[in-house]
Amino acid sequence: MTLGITARAVSKGLKAVGPALALFFAPFALLSSPITASQAFAATAPATEAAPAAAPVAADPATKENAVRAPDVAGNAATVTTAENAKPQAGSYRRMKPTPGIGMPVDGGWTIQPQFSPLGHYAEWFHNTILMPLITVITVFVAGLLLWVILRFNHRSNPVASRTSHNTFIEVVWTLLPVLILVCIAVPSIDLLAKQFKPAPKTALTIKVTGNQWFWTYKYPDNGGFEVTSYMLNLPGQPIVNNGVREVGSDPSDGPAHLEVDNRLVLPVGEPIRLQTTGADVIHSFAVPSLWFKLDAVPGRINEKVLFIEKPGVYYGQCSELCGAKHGYMPIAVEALPRAQYDAWVLTQSGGVIDGQKKPAAVTEAAATPAAAPAAAGAPAAAPSPAASGSVTPESKPSPQPSSN
């Protein structure tokens, strides 16, 4: 008898969790809607590479440099292309001015910053489409349940309390429903985690970031191995934070105080970048919210993630791991440029070379020819044979014959 009652209660409980099953399958249907990283790579890279050529402009000293202006609200950068700057040239780089509200915090902001990476779009979709609706429904339901219990089962409304100790139907529901809710959250969450740690392609540009107390060092091994140190700019009218560093606002391209630096991390847009982090002294954390990127920099260890920036612009972040007295004075400024402008910036650095370029065949042959010449000159000359030269050397003189007398 008891077994039959229990079976009927379980059956009712399973029917009650029917709506929860719909929530369970919702992530699988919605996972196809956000833009994946591979789709963004395919959609963004050709747009950068196959941009239509601009009409020829008359040669003028003012337009011979790449005029990179600040991106608009959508993040699109306006550039001026001339025949002279079709190829990257040293000295053609111009520091980009950030766009207010893009890649930086804003007054009164309370939600996620606008995202400019495929992973950022996916994470923003996950937050807005799955997490927030579930959180809202659960919060309203629990608050309503508490209010109903307070009003319905207080001492005055219900002077004689019920002695019910078990309810199989309710116990089945409150066990299965939370499990299904957690599964709905786990599926896209694990997918996002797996995407964040997908290895970079072999041909990806490698950048090594080192955290120091209290500045950053950026190394470009694929561009000649040069290094750039990045310090926060000093604040006007306040104590000097970094000796020998200028004040923020002294250059028209400076961004917000406490976030602008003297030397930015310059990166190309529209391609995956292998970003490696390590610490020189204590644990730091390299974090840029608008690019959905955060990676700890641990001494004696190399951490690695892929960074993909969709649009040109300046994106700001900060060290996100307590690293000492001046932890709050360790900002990060990422300047993302089209490939041509990035190559031009590389050539302005001491020892900078453009990555992925092969040496011309003529240069290779010219380098091989001088190496072969000394080898030929240093080889001893072969001695001519006596028969060929007609001369007699001491070694070739006939030995005297003994006299018969």
Summarised one tens digit per residue, pLDDT across range 27-41 is 444 444 444 444 443
Please name every residue paired with 274 in a beta bridge, in sequence order, or none if there are none: 206, 306
pLDDT digit string (tens) for 310-366? 999 999 999 999 999 999 999 999 999 999 999 999 999 999 999 877 554 444 444
The answer to which of 10-24, 91-105, 264-278 has the lowest mean pLDDT is: 10-24
Q: Classify domain 205-347 by CATH number.
A: 2.60.40.420
Mean of per-residue pLDDT scores for the chain: 77
Helices (H), 89-219: 118-126, 132-152, 168-196
pLDDT digit string (tens) for 83-125? 344 455 555 788 999 999 999 999 988 899 999 999 999 999 9
Domain residue spans in the chain?
A: 2-68+92-157+167-196, 205-347
pTM above 0.85, yes or no: no
The answer to which of 82-91, 126-135, 147-156 has the lowest mean pLDDT is: 82-91
DSSP per-residue codes, 331-393: EEEEEEE-HHHHHHHHHTSTT---TTPPPPHHHHHHHHHHHHHHHHHHSPPPPPPHHHH----
